[in-house]
Structure 1
Amino acid sequence: MSTLATADLTAGTPLAAGENWIELVPAVHAEPHQVSFPAVIEPRRHHGLWVRPRLRREVADAVCEWLNVVYPIDPDWYPLARFEDDQLVVFTGDAARHRHEIGPDVGGRYPLGELGRWFLSAPTRARRHRTVAARNRRLQSPGEGETLVSYGPGTHARSVFPARVESCAAAGGRVVVFRPEIAQAVAEYCTSANQEFPDDYPLVYFEGGTLVHVHQHHRARDGYLPWRIDPGPDGAYRVDRDEWPFDLLPGKSEGIVHAFRAIRPTGEKRP
């Protein structure tokens, strides 16, 4: 399978009910190693972070083809896999004990169990789409009723975004509400920063009209699933959980630009 074909899987294949995007720990953080696949994941993790995926047949076929691309590049890192009739056969070494035969479950999916270090990720298209568009976007001042908020650890450069801030006792006292175009910029910024600082930033992307947030630490917990934020009646996105905290900026503060732009985290290279 070509790199383009594997990329097309995440570009053209919608998630089926109950599915999320998963990724196998890559040997190298570059194409064609970083490719995501849709899968149902079991609630229990193994060895902490790693999920137990269950793959549709067409997705399992795509995984086999992708492994044929990356295995020759780094045969000590990746397994090989192929179908023999309706059995998915995974080879993790040359010995007979390294041959794993997986049949379909009652739903027609192939459970990988503890084979491979798979983790909750974002679609390939989201990680490949860097923040060029956001950095080149014309600066916009906060709209009516909006103020400035920022996100990012204190040790990194931060991005500043306009948002409406509402009081809510149930949400830790504050709800941050983004217009759709601002939500898109926030998603691009967080996912780009996650590639450089995976312990400090979440993966955030759009799945259709839904904003999806994958917490960088919570995803290792048994039963965790990504947080899906649907737009409200006004099309805006409400961030009302403390797992994605934003800081308020003062209305006037020396050095603060009253506009939004995705600021490259310290040390991040240009694409």
Structure 2
Amino acid sequence: MSVSVFPIKAFNDNYIWCLHNKTQCSVVDPGDAAPVLAYCQDNQLTLSAIIITHHHWDHTGGIDALLAAFPNIPVYGPQNKNIKQITVRLSQGDDIELALLGVKFSILEVPGHTLDHIAYYGDIGLFCGDTLFSAGCGRLFEGTPQQMFASLSKLTALPADTAVYCTHEYTMANIAFAEAVEPNNQALIDYKRWVNQQRAENTPTLPSNIQRELDVNPFLRCHSAELVANVSQNMGAMLASEQEIFASLRSWKDNF
């Protein structure tokens, strides 16, 4: 039975990704239970697992209400004891299988946005929480630029056609910054046109894929001569390494 991935909208710009077949489903980062429960009811689905990438409330806030409605289902998540509902704690290199859906994932530790952040990679795609966004990356609330640079490098080493399911509709705002950094990037110009059309129709811009992000995402393009020149000019100093460029780029975005 084939598995589909559906974006359940929550809050202003969150997507709770729902992996489902005709009868069973699992959800990724349910910050709010209400839209998940409504989707399950409308589509006659039984929730069989919850998947968590990191501890922020807009990714975990719905767990308790979902467990009340669907008791004793596994809750997969990082090695963070503060997320008390997790029943299966995961580390780099672990593998899990959502048996009722026939979906397998390998676990990647991707600290940066938070220190506990993990991502789930499988044939169905990459569920990367707030680490990699389309045309952007997560803010560094707990980790260092070096950690985030390494985490993004880990993700971009995945196959180019890997679908990227991140958890916020930030694409338009991210493109505005990417344009300031690398205005002559033709792939970015073309992508902006498509994104504007999607959003005008209130259609998600996600999932993206690894190749698209390599083409348009400034945080993955610290080798671009135009980007390096503009970041160095913004900092008032010529930057040498890609890690230095990344750190300066993230700082610029924080104040953009």
TM class, shorter-length: under 0.3
Q: Please report the TM-score for the alignment, with normalisation by the length of structure 1.
A: 0.27
Structure with max Cα Rg: 1
**Structure having the larger proportion of residues in helix:** 2
Q: Which has the higher contact order (CA 8 A, sep 6+)?
A: 1
